[in-house]
Amino acid sequence: MTRSQDDMQSGPGGPVPRPGVLDIAAYVPGDSESSAAKVFKLSSNETPLGASEKAIEAYRANAHELHLYPDGASSLLRQSIAAAHGLNPAQIVCGNGSDELLTLLAQTYLSPGDEAIYTEHGFLIYRIAILASGATPVVAPETDFTANVDAILEKVTDRTRIVFLANPNNPTGTYLPFSEVKRLQSGLPDHVLLVLDAAYAEYVRRNDYESGIELAGQANNVVMTRTFSKIYGLANLRIGWAYSSAAIIDALNRVRGPFNVTGPALAAGTAAVADRAHVQNAVDHNQKWLPWLETRLAELGLAVTPSVGNFLLIHFPQVAGKSAEEADRFLRANGVVMRRVGGYGIPGALRMTVGTQEANHATIDALTRFMNGGAQPS
């Protein structure tokens, strides 16, 4: 028998977490569990191209400095990011992945009694960060797995302090055009912070898309976050960055840890930003294989939510023998590991990362056998 939150608040037995903490469902990352001899991990949206060789060299070169504290201001990395995007480095803050920055934003701008909004199938970290700050999460419904500006604005109250918007969104792969993002920002009270999580921005090739840099540079209540974990292939090092007004960056610098990005990460990140060719190769690979996968999946009779990221949300029929749960078991037995998205409120789907040529073909081959009633491997 487990005790309720109220019992734990009032009863003996040691320190009790603040209200909201025990309501958090811990984030479960994509795994690679499979009994197959060869496994294709397509569950975490990692780039199939790996990290830039220049970033790897920079990482290795930092090994002799492991006894030294890193640059607490992330100066060279901020300067490199600023040069690449035409920004003021003073308005950039770096973090231990964009997850840390999202959490710091909640910690900085939310208090018990406040509310923060995210969309129906938005990134799970938003809810975790909101609850950990003692605030109340508010969910705005989506339309066709896409954020709806009107639905978000309808949820705004005098207690709202933050709106989190993943654009493109994970796990759906959908996005809002910049005109809609601007409409959202203009509809928010000035004291409400709009957080634009653009983790997959580098993959987007749509004329009506903008990552949020322009808006974050103009408005006093917008922050854009980015990551090195996806297209740069540095997920293992945990590097993220945010761009916003001087006042918001100043606040984040006051609450973040003094050495929140490691020296090897700073070195590798700086080199990765400069390797434009590696990033372009990743974009080209995604542009080739994303539509190829969409076409092959459609030919199998599987519905796919249109994606602008490096992943696809695949919907399975809710009939015996063809469900997402059964597909997941079959795929894992055949060495293909996708992401279960029941925690995002989409139990009938699996999210697939665009992989290598070999991984993509292996996935379609396995799904073809599954949809045709194929047997598990012996």
pLDDT of residue 31: 67
Residue 161: which domain range?
53-274
CB 23 within 8 A of CB 5: yes
Q: What pLDDT, in 10s, does the model give residues 202-250?
A: 999 999 999 999 999 999 999 999 999 999 999 999 999 999 999 999 9
Tell whether 63 and 74 lie within a shared domain.
yes
Of the three residues 274, 290, 306, the one that is the final residue of a domain is 274
pLDDT of residue 29: 67
pLDDT of residue 20: 77
Tell whether 241 and 120 lie within a shared domain.
yes
Residue given tokens 């640059």 in the structure block: 71
CB 359 within 8 A of CB 285: no
CB 331 within 8 A of CB 367: yes
CATH classification at residue 300: 3.90.1150.10
Per the domain annotation, does 81 fall within a domain? yes
CB environment 203-224: b (16+ within 10 A), e (fewer)? bbeeeebbbbbebbbebebbbb
Taking CA atoms, 251 is separated from 95, 232, 260, 331, in Å, by: 14, 27, 15, 46
Tell whether 39 and 91 lie within a shared domain.
no
Phi and psi at 281, nearest 5°, equal: -60, -40
Tell whether 161 and 207 lie within a shared domain.
yes
pLDDT of residue 12: 61
Count other Cβ atoms within 10 Å, centred on residue 367. Answer: 25
CATH classification at residue 216: 3.40.640.10
pLDDT of residue 21: 80
Q: Is residue 188 classed exposed, middle or buried when 0-12, 13-18 and 19+ CB atoms within 10 A define those classes?
A: buried
Taking CA atoms, 55 is separated from 84, 91, 273, 314, in Å, by: 16, 24, 9, 33
DSSP 339: E
The pLDDT tens digits along the chain (378 residues) read 344 555 545 456 888 777 778 776 766 666 666 666 789 999 999 999 999 999 999 999 999 999 999 999 999 999 999 999 999 999 999 999 999 999 999 999 999 999 999 999 999 999 999 999 999 999 999 999 999 999 999 999 999 999 999 999 999 999 999 999 999 999 999 999 999 999 999 999 999 999 999 999 999 999 999 999 999 999 999 999 999 999 999 999 999 999 999 999 999 999 999 999 999 999 999 999 999 999 999 999 999 999 999 999 999 998 889 999 999 999 999 999 999 999 999 999 999 999 999 999 999 999 999 999 865 544
Tell whether 270 and 282 lie within a shared domain.
no
Maximal C-alpha separation, the chain = 61
Tell whether 229 and 165 lie within a shared domain.
yes
Tell whether 152 and 217 lie within a shared domain.
yes
Specify the number of domains making up the chain.
2
Tell whether 214 and 347 lie within a shared domain.
no
Of the three residues 257, 274, 291, the one that is the final residue of a domain is 274
Per the domain annotation, does 142 fall within a domain? yes
Per the domain annotation, does 13 fall within a domain? no
Tell whether 159 and 92 lie within a shared domain.
yes
Tell whether 73 and 148 lie within a shared domain.
yes
CB environment 80-103: b (16+ within 10 A), e (fewer)? bbbeeeebebebbbbbbbbbbbbb
pLDDT of residue 2: 46
Tell whether 33 and 110 lie within a shared domain.
no
Of the three residues 246, 274, 302, the one that is the final residue of a domain is 274
Tell whether 230 and 344 lie within a shared domain.
no
